[in-house]
Structure 1
Amino acid sequence: MCGEFNGLKAKILEENDSAYYVHCFAHQLQLVVVAVAKKHLGVVDFFYKLSLVTNVVCASCKRKDILIECEKVRVEKVIGNREVKTGSGKNQELSLTRARDTRWNSHYKTILRLMDMLPSLIKVLEFVENEGNNGSTQNQASGILVYFESFDFVFYLHLMKYIMGLTNILSQALQKRDQDVVEAVSLVKSTKEQLKEFRVNGLVPLLTIISSFCEKHNIKVLNMDEVYVNPSGRRRRINVTNQYFFEVECFNTVVDMQIQEFNDCFSEAGSELLTNMACLNPLIILP
């Protein structure tokens, strides 16, 4: 469509150099998420581990069966403790879904599954680490278990859950067949405003949720005044506090990058042009 020489965009510009090309909003949204996932090292590592755990756990039918059995026991336990609601369509048998690089909303589903199934996944990984017959796979399982026990993992898990939750809602709305241009532009602007609000006021509530998740899964909650230590290399200190690292290096940087990508992919000029063009629609009754 937008090829520089032989694409439809180029052919139209040959006939009318005043034409203005606006990329598909749904595809632009995919590019927004992909850009951040490839630029920030912490996010890159998080999604790498996410794909790795899927490969390790889903590599054999035996491991899948162990996961399903562990999940069955876990669900029965939480239902017995009245920690979850029951009803038609709830608490169905789940498995870890393999995310697809061309559909980044599938990563959001994987993140949600990972949060729910974490205890069962840990049991499968421990089985692979102790009973596996492949040294490489055992090392991978061991590395994932170390990562799962880190505060870094929980932080990026919840941060990306929130960000991808916003983009997932927007993605579904943009792909509706009856979606009109004005509403699409409005939804994009609304999502950008939500991200800006999250940037200003989202860290404290996020840390509260993270601390609760850590306590539930017996993961050490860091003292924010202590010096940050990289969990993958504990001897490597960067001489900043945990508070500075997670607030500035992680939270602020990732959210700022997401907002910047939104501004780059969904320019004000393009949005305004589309809104003005919508006035030409004969179905719209102007006041």
Structure 2
Amino acid sequence: MDEGNSSQKVEVESAYVVLISFEFVFILHFVNEAMGITDKLCQALQNQSQDILNATHLVSSTKKLIQQFRDEKWDDLLATVISFCKERGIDVPDMNARYVVRFGRSRHQQEDFRNEHYYKIDIFNAGIDSQLQELNHRFSEHAMELLTLSSALNPREAYEFFEVVKLVLTLPVSTATTERAFSVMNVIKTDLRNKMEDEFLSDAMMLFIERDIAATISADSIIEDFEDLKRQRVPFS
């Protein structure tokens, strides 16, 4: 603001006005609190040695903490932000006064409501609901149940139960992906192919699941591989 040219000064001054606004300070404090709750879960999920039971527990506890933050911490957050602003000479709006858009175009002005409604409903509640929705989408009840059940697999005689473990590890987490996989399986194993062996069905499904890799393999190369196998066979005497 002191050393720039006229256009730079105007731009920086506008940005500075936003930075020292109550709304900007409120959002920073809100994001700091909300991200602090989910940070432990994010760090744990990036840990490759994380066991399944602990991960499911962290997901459940994170959801509860976020919901608790929504239900009980509004007053505490608002008090913290107001105290922060008063200590630094930042104007604090009257929460009971009518909310007026300070930044952006006037056409974005919503219906007549108080400042408290804007900060609590439009920012605080909406932000937390978005986080909960994302967690519920990524960690649905079915996915959590699958993870919990897989943690109960008996590690003894691993070779005998390997097929079960492989199934758990390869099942798609996304419901939409699962539905698409079953749709393709119905296309492959029709009424006319109802006697298809599981191994052949598994191979056909693998080609679909890894279709990006399969697309890079030409039919000619497959034919050549089979011809090479025939030439390598040694006839019995």
TM-score after normalising by structure 2: 0.60
Q: Give CA deviations for 1:223-269 in whole Å, capped at 9, x if unaligned.
A: 11101122214866532110111111111111111111111111110
**Matched letter for residue 221 of structure 1:** V
In the alignment, is residue 188 of structure 1 matched against residue 59 of structure 2? yes
Distance change (3 Å), C-alpha of 1:282 and 1:134: farther
Query: Is contact 1:155–1:210 with CA below 8 Å preserved after alignment?
Result: yes
Task: State how far apart, in whole Å, the 1-side matches of 2:72 and 2:11 are.
Answer: 37
Task: State how far apart, in whole Å, the 2-side matches of 1:243 and 1:222 are.
Answer: 9
Bigger radius of gyration, 1 or 2? 2
Task: State how far apart, in whole Å, the 1-side matches of 2:5 and 2:18 are.
Answer: 22
Structure 1 alignment gaps of length 5 or more = 1-128
**Count of aligned positions:** 154
Q: Give CA deviations for 1:162-185 in whole Å, capped at 9, x if unaligned.
A: 111122221112222321011111
The CA deviation at 1:200 is 0.6
Query: Is contact 1:150–1:231 with CA below 8 Å preserved after alignment?
Result: no
Give the corresponding residue for 2:145.
Answer: 272
Q: Give CA deviations for 1:55-84 in whole Å, capped at 9, x if unaligned.
A: xxxxxxxxxxxxxxxxxxxxxxxxxxxxxx
Give the corresponding residue for 1:130.
Answer: 2
**Matched letter for residue 252 of structure 1:** N
Distance change (3 Å), C-alpha of 1:215 and 1:277: same
Task: State how far apart, in whole Å, the 1-side matches of 2:61 and 2:12 are.
Answer: 41
Identity %, equivalent residues: 39
Q: Give CA deviations for 1:131-164 in whole Å, capped at 9, x if unaligned.
A: 11473x4343222211112111011111111111
The CA deviation at 1:199 is 1.0
**Larger RCO, structure (CA 8 Å, separation 6 or more):** 1
In the alignment, is residue 260 of structure 1 matched against residue 133 of structure 2? yes
In the alignment, is residue 152 of structure 1 matched against residue 23 of structure 2? yes
In the alignment, is residue 179 of structure 1 matched against residue 50 of structure 2? yes
**Matched letter for residue 240 of structure 1:** F
Give the corresponding residue for 2:190.
Answer: none
Q: Aligned to 2:77, what secondary structure does the other structure show?
A: helix
Task: State how far apart, in whole Å, the 2-side matches of 1:171 and 1:144 are.
Answer: 32
TM-score after normalising by structure 1: 0.50
In the alignment, is residue 212 of structure 1 matched against residue 86 of structure 2? no
Counterpart mapping for 1:23-62 below 5 A: none
Identify the match of residue 124 of structure 2 among 241, 251, 255: 251
